[in-house]
Structures are given as structure tokens and as C-alpha cells.
Amino acid sequence: MKTYLRILKYLLPYRRIVLILIFSMLLYVVLNIFSIALIVPLVDVIFTDISAAPSTGEFDLKKGNLKDQLMGWLYHTLSKYPKQDALLYVCLFIAVGFLLKNLTSYWQMYLNAALEQGMLRDLRNQIHRHLHQLSLHFFMARKKGHLISLMMNDVRLITESVMALLGMFFRDPPTVIVSTIILFVFNWKLTLTILLITPAMGFIIGKIADKLKKYSTRFQEKMSEITSLVDESISGVRVIKAFKMEKHEIEKFENQTNKLYKIFVKLLRIRSISSPLSEYFGILIAVVVLWFGGMGIINKTSPMSAGQFIFYLTILVSMLQPIKMITQVFNTVKEGIAAGERVFAILDIKPRVLDTPDAIEIKDFSNSIVFENVSFKYDTTDLVLKNINLKINKGEIVAIVGPSGSGKSTLVDLVPRFYDPVEGSIKIDNIDLRKVKQESLRDLMGIVTQETILFNDTVAANIGFGMVNAQMEKIIEAAKIANAHNFIENLEHGYFTIIGDRGVKLSGGERQRIAIARAVLKNPPILILDEATSALDPESEMLVQEALERLMQKRTSIVIAHRFSTIQNANKIVVMEKGEIVQIGTFNTLLSQEGLFKRLYELQFRML
């Protein structure tokens, strides 16, 4: 219930549309009953003898019951005219009544769409905005496919349930209530009989609805799994091919789609039985009414005229659809609540790395970055950084080396504050990073990682990524410094060539050089570099290395080093092992000591 109230809050920005919708739905209900009610005078006044009219025609609430008064008034009014004229008026009434009814229905559909799509847009935007506020912790712990499914499917389930509820709430329950009152007014005994036989049918339909819900939840879960699978098998296509896992992936996928198929067929089997069954139950009720009501008319014991009886029957049959809708919507709302719970679980996660209200904007980097007794752990791990103390002065090149898993990437991820330390602090120009505005901090940094993510856009846009209105000359200049200009010129549309998702149309070296050009263009005072471990061909290697050296000039660089030239040129080499700094020094001093660096150097660097 609480979840649903929270979902309904998304209607608030659209309250005007909601009010218009409610008004037009109520109008629809009135017009609907009104247009059916016209049948009574049609049958009684025009096609039968007017003497059968039950009242004198004076509309007076004190005399007789409401039905007789109302009918009497209608009969009387119509019987004042010759039959042809009366028929004409009835026809005109019907034409206008149905015109209005259908106009409101058109108008409702259109407003419904505006409301539903508006809510969908708002929810998606909110989740997307929220995702971008969350720190990397969040993404590490989740499957991308599930997030995609959340934004595409769950959000849709929520809005569908709200729309169904809204469409139903002001139309169907009032229709059912008003219709039931009318049925009671016309023939309370018959109506009571019907009410007594419906619960049994309701029970059977309820059981079917339960099953329906079970299978629709399973269907959603399977859809989310398949979204995940599609994502993984497409993003991992390179690895899949390399390991010849295509067959395995295909089998895995087909296994899942087959399960989805079975669930859906079952779902539809249940859904398909529910509609004919409820219709048949409705008809059974109508048959009972026809029998008892008809007998009453034949034996002249019924309180209703023939026209009234047809009216009664029509109202009864027209109630079936709204009743069906109410039960259906009840199920949709249940599904909406389940989806809402999944969405709100994500929306309620508080970003761990947050700007404090009084966060400082830093304009430049003038002195140093200092790690003071920094320790860090991921949610699922023990400490991966232990008591790190390190000073990086402006203008230095600091190379970080160490065996894989020793904490190098984690250490550099703390500098742009992708994570906060669990103990100790990192200070930039003597200000704790937690007191600095994240945006202003990251403005000072250029990050070139091994995973050079390129977006599915033009080369120029990829180089200019993150820069609003980057000028073309500057982009070209940056590409030249990054040794990328020549190969870009040779691409089909030069700087306007679209590169595929993650840049699959480019070679590894080319991708790296575009990522370097991006950093050159940004021209940040601090550079964070994760040198690629994958070997490039000698020519690419030379071009990339040259580009990197130019990029590092006149900057402060923190480099996870894999190249010999980098460690040789570094002002400081930081050697890490199992989350700790075990040695710090220049190339020559470290090489003259016995220790991890010397061993690593012999294993890793001397060969290069």
C-alpha cells in the first residue's frame, strides 16, 4: 500500500490532466447509462401501447419511487408527441448521446497516453539521474542487464498499473455501483438472487487470477535474465569468439528463450481461459435472469414492463465488462507494486560519495596530493589498501608498480574520488577530497585507462567527449599531439567517421591514441594513466609511447606503469604488494636495493 501511494505521487505533476480525465470518465459513465436508458421509452412508448405507462407524468419525488417517477416523466414527455416524432427525438437523443460518449472516450485515450508516457519519462529520467549519482560500488555489485530491464520493463509495469487503476477507478466501480442500484430499484428480488450466485463464480475466477499473476511474475523475471544474457553475449563477443564459446552461448540463450516461450504459452493458456469463462458465467447469470424475469413477465407477476425488463437485462450485461476490469486491474496493481518495490529499492540507495553542502570548488592544482594513512576495502573484501602514505608533488611523474591484485588500480581510483577511503584521508593542496566538489576535482584530472571506452559517435565527438563546444581546430591539434591525426584522416569520413560501440572498428593502438587525444584536449593539470598491458605491434607501441610522453609533459602524472620508459622517467616509483607500499624511490635507487622492485624489474621490465 505504501509502495503504491509512493507510485501515485508520480501523478502529482500531471494533476490537471488527471482531473480532466476523472471528469471525462464520470461523464462517460453517465452518458453510457443514459444511452442505454433510452431503450426503455423506445420499446414501451413507441412500439407498445402508451396506456401501459406506469405513471401520470408528474415528476414528483414524494409520490411513488424514483424509478416510477423518472420513467413516468419520460413516458409522459414522449407520449405528448405523435409516435413518429417521438421516434425521431429518441433517435436524435441516441445519436447525440453516443457522439458525446465516443468523444469523451477519444479524449480519454489521448490524455491517457500523455499521462502514461509522461510518467514513464519521469521515472526513467529519475532512475537514470540517480544511477549517475551513485558511486562505482553500486555498479560493481550489479548486472547491467538487470538495470536495463529495470529501466525498460519494471518502469512500464508501474505506469501501466497506474493507468489501469486510474482508468478503472473512476469508471468501473461507479458504473457497477450505479448499475447495481438501478437493478435493485427495478427488481430487488431478482437482483438479490443474482448476488447470491456470483460469489461462487468469483471464487473460480479469483483462483485463475492468482495463477495468472504467478506466471506473469515468472515471465518478467525471465525477461530480465534474457536482457542480461543479450547484454553479456554482445559486449563479450570478442572473448566469446576467442574462446570459441559461440556454441555454448547459443545453447545458453536458446535454453532461456525456450523457457520464456513455455512460460508465455502457459500464461496465455491461463489468460485465454479466463476471458471465455467469465463471459460464460455472465451469460449464465443472464440466462437465470431471462428465465425468472421472463416468467414474471409472462405470468404478469413481474414488477417490470417488457421494456423495463430489457433495460434491466441490458444494464446487467453491461456490468460484466466493468466487473471483469476491476478484477484484472487488481492483478495489474499487484504487479505494479512488485515492480515499484524493485525500482524504489534502487532509488533509495544513497550515493556513498556525496558532495557535502559546504563543499569547496577548487580551481587549480598548485602544490601536492597527499595520502595520509589511507586504508580501503570493497564491500566484499578485506582491506585492499593498508595504511598508505604517499606524497605526489606538482609536476612529478609517479609510477606505480606491483604484481596484479596488489591494489594499484584501487589506489588511483581514490584520487578522482571514485571511492572514499575507509580510514585516513587524501588531501589535494591540503584540502580533504571529501570537502571538495567532485566536479571541480575531476575537472583537474584526465583519466586514460586500459578500457578506452569509446562511444558510438564520430571520432571528433569522442575526442571532444566531456567538453562542451570543443572547437574543431583544437580537436585536430589534440589528435596531432596524440599521434592520431594521420590514421583519422585516412578513415572513411575522417573526423566524422562513426566509430562503433566501444570503438570496435579501431585497432587497440588507435583506440588508445583517441583516448590520449581526449586527455590532451581536456588539458588537465593532473593525469591518471593506466598503461595498457596488452602488447601492441612495435610501430603502434612507439606511436602510443610518444603520444603518452607528450601528454605527460608539464603535468602531474600518476601512472600504473607497464612500460620500461615510464619507470625510467618517473620521479618516484611506488612499489605495491598486497595493498601496501613496500618501496618508494627512483629507478636507480630501487634497482640498487634488494627487494620486490628488483625482482619485478627482472621479470617484467627488462625484457621490454
CB 471, min distance to ligand ADP, A: 36
Q: Which of residues 313-342 bind ligand ADP (CB under 6 A)?
A: none
Q: Which is nearer to ligand ADP, 414 or 484 (CB)?
A: 414
Q: Give CA–CA dist 205/323, Å, rounded.
A: 11
CB 419, min distance to ligand ADP, A: 9
Q: Which is nearer to ligand ADP, 336 or 402 (CB)?
A: 402
CB 408, min distance to ligand ADP, A: 3
Angle at alpha carbon of residue 97, lines to 92 and 98, rounded to 5°: 105
500 binds ligand ADP (CB under 6 A): no
Angle at alpha carbon of residue 33, lines to 28 and 35, rounded to 5°: 90
Beta-carbon contacts of 587 under 8 Å, excluding residues fewer than 6 positions away, are 567, 568, 570, 573
CB 415, min distance to ligand ADP, A: 13
Q: Which of residues 194-253 bind ligand ADP (CB under 6 A)?
A: none
C-alpha cell at 391: 606524497
575 within 8 A of 581, measured Cβ to Cβ: yes
Q: Which is nearer to ligand ADP, 26 or 349 (CB)?
A: 349
Q: Give CA–CA dist 581/139, Å, rounded.
A: 28
Report which of 496, 476, 472 is spatially closest to residue 485, judged by C-alpha positions: 476
By the 10 Å C-beta count (0-12 exposed, 13-18 middle, 19+ buried), 16 is classed as exposed
Q: Which is nearer to ligand ADP, 24 or 410 (CB)?
A: 410
Q: How many Cα atoms occupy the beta-carbon half-sphere of 440 within 13 Å? A: 15
107 binds ligand ADP (CB under 6 A): no
CB 569, min distance to ligand ADP, A: 21
Q: Which is nearer to ligand ADP, 235 or 256 (CB)?
A: 235
Beta-carbon contacts of 266 under 8 Å, excluding residues fewer than 6 positions away, are 215
C-alpha cell at 243: 574462446
CB 142, min distance to ligand ADP, A: 11
CB 596, min distance to ligand ADP, A: 13
426 within 8 A of 371, measured Cβ to Cβ: yes
CB 139, min distance to ligand ADP, A: 9
CB 436, min distance to ligand ADP, A: 23
For 377, list phi and psi in degrees, rounded to 5. Answer: -140, 150
CB 528, min distance to ligand ADP, A: 13
Which segment (96-104, 178-186, 373-381, 480-488) binds ligand ADP by CB under 6 A? 373-381
Q: Which is nearer to ligand ADP, 180 or 409 (CB)?
A: 409
Q: Which is nearer to ligand ADP, 398 or 460 (CB)?
A: 398
Residue count at the site for ligand ADP (CB under 6 A)?
Answer: 13
C-alpha cell at 6: 509512493
Q: Give CA–CA dist 487/530, Å, rounded.
A: 23
Query: What amino acid occupies position 343?
Result: V
Q: Which is nearer to ligand ADP, 231 or 580 (CB)?
A: 580
531 within 8 A of 567, measured Cβ to Cβ: no
Site track 376-415 with ligand ADP (rule: CB under 6 A), x = hit:
--x-xx--x-----------------x-xxxxxxx-----
Q: Which is nearer to ligand ADP, 256 or 409 (CB)?
A: 409
Q: Are strands 368-377 and 383-393 parallel, antiparallel or unpaired?
A: antiparallel
Site track 417-456 with ligand ADP (rule: CB under 6 A), x = hit:
----------------------------------------
By the 10 Å C-beta count (0-12 exposed, 13-18 middle, 19+ buried), 458 is classed as middle
Q: Give CA–CA dist 439/274, Å, rounded.
A: 56
5 within 8 A of 165, measured Cβ to Cβ: no
C-alpha cell at 271: 489468460
CB 272, min distance to ligand ADP, A: 47
- Give residues in contact with ligand ADP (CB under 6 A): 140, 378, 380-381, 384, 402, 404-410
